[in-house]
Every structure is written in structure tokens, then in C-alpha cells.
Amino acid sequence: DTAVSQTPKYLVTQMGNDKSIKCEQNLGHDTMYWYKQDSKKFLKIMFSYNNKELIINETVPNRFSPKSPDKAHLNLHINSLELGDSAVYFCASSPRLAGARETQYFGPGTRLLVL
């Protein structure tokens, strides 16, 4: 059973399009995250949610809008895609809000390529 799953695994799209990435965790965790990993493998947090409530928004452009319909799901919608959005996006979850201390469980990633 996959603990943290993401769809799609690959996403190739044109500049200016709008796309969504979905994430689901079946671990019963309260907290979920979105990370962006750039071409140099640098991994940076974008958002965190705890029980559907936004906790962290790391100065991400407002073209990125996360949505958490329930605590098991955290989706990421991106408007007006730009070339610089090309990256691998990872979803993660942790049991509680204390993300600094908790083990985070990562999904397999979504590889986004904007042409």
C-alpha cells in the first residue's frame, strides 16, 4: 500500500497553461506539505497544512494555490505556468504539526516540465 501518493507522475505542458497535482496520504497524518526540488536538487518547502488549515506559505507566487479538501488530501493548482516552474514537486506528510521534529513521509514526486 502506497503511503503518500501523487498524480500525475509526469506532467509536460505549455507555458501559460493551468495544471493541478494531487496528493493523498493513507497514514492518518494531520500535516501535509508541498516541496519544490529544482534542477540542482535543492529542496525547498512551499506550503504546509495541518488538518486542512494553511500553516506555512513560503513566499510562493500566488499562481500556486494549495487546496486541502480533507486532512488526507493536499492538492496543488498552478495557474499561468512559467518556464521556471519546471521542477519536481514532492508531497509529504507527518503525524503532527511539529514538522521540525516529526519524520516526514514523502511521495514519489511529480516531474513538471513547462515548454
Partner 1 sequence: AQSVTQPDIHITVSEGASLELRCNYSYGATPYLFWYVQSPGQGLQLLLKYFSGDTLVQGIKGFEAEFKRSQSSFNLRKPSVHWSDAAEYFCAVGLSNFGNEKLTFGTGTRLTIIP
Contact track, partner 1, 47-66, x by CB under 8 A:
-x------xx-x--------
**Cα separation, 78 vs 14, whole angstroms:** 12
What's the maximum distance between 2 C-alpha atoms anywhere in the chain?
Answer: 39
Strand-pair category, 10-13 with 110-114: parallel
Q: Is residue 83 at the binding interface for partner 1, with CB under 8 A as the rule? A: no
- Among residues 26, 44, 61, 80, the one that binds partner 1 under rule CB under 8 A: 44
Residue in this structure with the C-alpha cell 508541498, named with its chain if needed: 34
Interacting residue ranges for partner 1, rule: CB under 8 A: 4, 40-45, 48, 55-56, 58, 90, 92, 97-101, 103-104, 106-109
